[in-house]
Amino acid sequence: MAHVLVVTLNPALDLSIQLPQLEPGAVNRARSSHLAAAGKGLNVARVLVALGHRVTLSGFLGADNDTAFVQACQLDGIEDASLRLPGETRINAKLAEDDGRVTDINGPGIEVSEAALAELSTDLVARCETASPAAVVVTGSLPPGVTPEALAALIQALKTSGVPVWVDTSGPALASALAVLPHAAKPNEQELADWAGEPLTDASTQLDAARRLHAAGVEESILSLGAEGVLWISRRGEWQAIPPRVEVRNTVGAGDTLLAAMLHGVIADLSPQETLRQATALAAEAVRHVGVGDPHASDFQQLRQQTSVSRCGEAHVGRGV
């Protein structure tokens, strides 16, 4: 289908540990553990590839332990364009309990110099101008040395190429990113409340804040509400989705799955109903296991049919296509 450029400034090797229940201060015995290349950018890239797109993954990697990322990109058919820096890519520990609770212990990341960030920015803008990707996704946290203001400058530089910029980050980084009005953003409830400057106590205040974000200039305003669903405000209208009930095993990767699937629907010019239905169902599929959503899961079509989509303020009158 389309070519998408995904940028992850602070990737990680994920040490995923599954255990019945975490007991702080005690010896915990894991049911399983797995170390693999991960991070929000790789998650988004994997979903986009699974949905049929060609993906270039860029950002920073530690030169001393990049083997897992090289192998992951080769296995998944992702073009590896990350800039290598001296040192090691961070390791994030993810402790997943049987009740679905996940405890993240994240490393800080490699120190990024101004020169390295400038080199990456120049390369990304050049790729936008020469390859004309359908979109650029900037996702994840910031490594040491990259300030929220520097992220905003990077997004602004990418916007000048004319390529839509989709953003998924948090905290001060998200605040700075929203200030320069990316094409799309996917905050959760607390992140949108921080931007709006007030708590979002009910569906009405959630919808109002999402509308305000869109009115401010973020064309695709996507509010992720977890098990309560998704709000999507854009020129296509105001839409809401309620996911099917599934057994939650691990929520890591669900938000990345949602973002990638929403982008897929937009660039594939699907109807807003089908875009939101597919993205919400795929995010629900993701929480059933470790990793991102699998659009080829044997029961994915059933999950789609069990996902309710309607215009905001309307009753949910049915599920399915």
Which active-site residues does the annotation give? 256
- How far from chain centre, in Å, is Cα 228? 18
The token duo for 43 is 């998650």
The answer to whether the CB of 107 falls within 8 A of the CB of 91 is: yes
User: Whole-angstrom Cα distance, residue 35 to residue 18?
Assistant: 12
Q: What DSSP state is assigned to residue 57?
A: E
Through-space distance between the first and last CA atoms of the chain, rounded to whole angstroms: 22
| CA proximity to 19, closest of 9, 28, 11 | 28
Q: Which letter, b or e, does each residue of 126-158 get, where b requires 16 or more Cβ atoms within 10 Å of its Cβ?
A: ebbeeeebbbbbbbbbbbebbebebbbbbbebb
